[in-house]
Amino acid sequence: MKPRFALKIRDHLHDPVKKRSFNEAHFSEAASRYDIATVAMSLGRDRAWKNRLIAALPDGGAPRCVDLACGTGDIVFALAERYPQGEILGLDIAEPMLERARRRQRTDNICFERRDMCATGLEEQSVDILTGSYAIRNAPDIEPALQEISRVMKPGGVVALLDFSKSIRPSRQKLDALLLKYWCGLWGLLLHGNPEIHAYIAASLKTFPDRVELRRMLTEQGLQLTSSCSFYFGMLELLVLRKEA
Ligand SMILES: C[S@@+](CC[C@H](N)C(=O)[O-])C[C@H]1O[C@@H](n2cnc3c(N)ncnc32)[C@H](O)[C@@H]1O
């Protein structure tokens, strides 16, 4: 019988090696019901937010696109539709997520590979468009993940990141953490019999930079913010950036 997921979030978030292995195990366990969970936890809004990310990207051409932490492939397939002449690569660490993504694949300009977002193995300055939805918050360590994004981007390339966003106000941080812990934990319990599965979202924000600090870290990597907007009662943000020429 398949062993139940038994890792505890609190034992894994403060060490990049442990966070990486926690995430691989946790998202492998979550994969079978991940698509239902995102619809439920987002109150049906997840698809609309992802559409906003795609709409924020530049028009036309045949760009080389990379979707970090692609999961079951929503953004990859939307990129393939937006850029039929483009080359689209989806990267993720959890094989069960990638298996689901590959089963959905209908066009041959898409490729899914198992790689860590902190060490993609991609060539320097080789990517025109990089996306990540609910991606960088899961990086084993945020700074190396941002360095990797900056390294692989072509000058002038566009980066679009959609993720939970941490308020700069401690009182709001506490409120968001409580809401996310119980709301998402409830879906972990209903779908997997284990609140640790989706309560991870709230826990991951503890070690994630707040929105001012995140902007500073992105700027430090030569990624200039061109637009931003927030969703989900201000708990989620879409950041669109351009790699300095
Ligand atoms: C919340 S899911 C997001 C999936 C997809 N981007 C979406 O928006 O539906 C987070 C994804 O990050 C992946 N992940 C976690 N750590 C990773 C890492 N170090 N490198 C690449 N992917 C990682 C997980 O396997 C999981 O598929």
The rounded Å distance from CA 172 to ligand 1 centre is 26
61: left (phi over 0), alpha (psi -120 to 50) or beta: left
Ligand 1 atom 25 nearest Cα = 94
Residues of the chain with pLDDT under 70: 1-7
Distance CA 202, CA 210 (A): 13
The pLDDT of residue 154? 98
| In the chain, alpha helices (H) | 16-30, 34-41, 46-55, 74-82, 95-104, 142-152, 170-192, 196-206, 211-220
Cα end-to-end span (Å), the chain = 54
Nearest atom of ligand 1 to the alpha carbon of 38: 9
Taking Cα atoms as reference points, which of 8, 2, 3, 1 lies closest to residue 203? 8
The rounded Å distance from CA 70 to ligand 1 centre is 6
The pLDDT of residue 168? 96
The bridge status of strand 223-231 relative to strand 236-243 is: antiparallel
Residue among 7, 26, 27, 115 whose CB has most ligand 1 atoms within 8 A, to mutate? 27
The pLDDT of residue 4? 63
Reduced to 3 states, what is the DSSP secondary structure of residue 236?
A: strand
The pLDDT of residue 194? 86
Nearest atom of ligand 1 to the alpha carbon of 28: 25
Global pTM? 0.95
Reduced to 3 states, what is the DSSP secondary structure of residue 215?
A: helix
The pLDDT of residue 1? 42
The rounded Å distance from CA 67 to ligand 1 centre is 10
The rounded Å distance from CA 140 to ligand 1 centre is 11
Reduced to 3 states, what is the DSSP secondary structure of residue 73?
A: coil
Write out the two tokens for 186: 């409830």
The pLDDT of residue 3? 47
Ligand 1 atom 20 nearest Cα = 116
Are 95 and 116 within 8 A, CB to CB?
no
Ligand 1 atom 8 nearest Cα = 133
CATH entry, 9-243, from 1.10.1740.10, 3.40.50.150, 3.30.230.10, 3.40.50.10540: 3.40.50.150
The rounded Å distance from CA 71 to ligand 1 centre is 5
Ligand 1 atom 11 nearest Cα = 69
**Pocket residues for ligand 1 (CB within 6 Å)?**
20, 23, 27, 38, 69-71, 74-75, 91-94, 97, 116-117, 133-135, 138-140
Write out the two tokens for 73: 């492939």
Are 117 and 69 within 8 A, CB to CB?
yes
Question: In this structure, what DSSP letter does residue 16 have?
Answer: H
C-alpha distances in Å from residue 175, one per residue of 58, 87, 166: 36, 41, 11
Taking Cα atoms as reference points, which of 53, 49, 111 lies closest to residue 80? 111
Nearest atom of ligand 1 to the alpha carbon of 70: 6
Distance CA 243, CA 245 (A): 6
Distance CA 11, CA 240 (A): 33
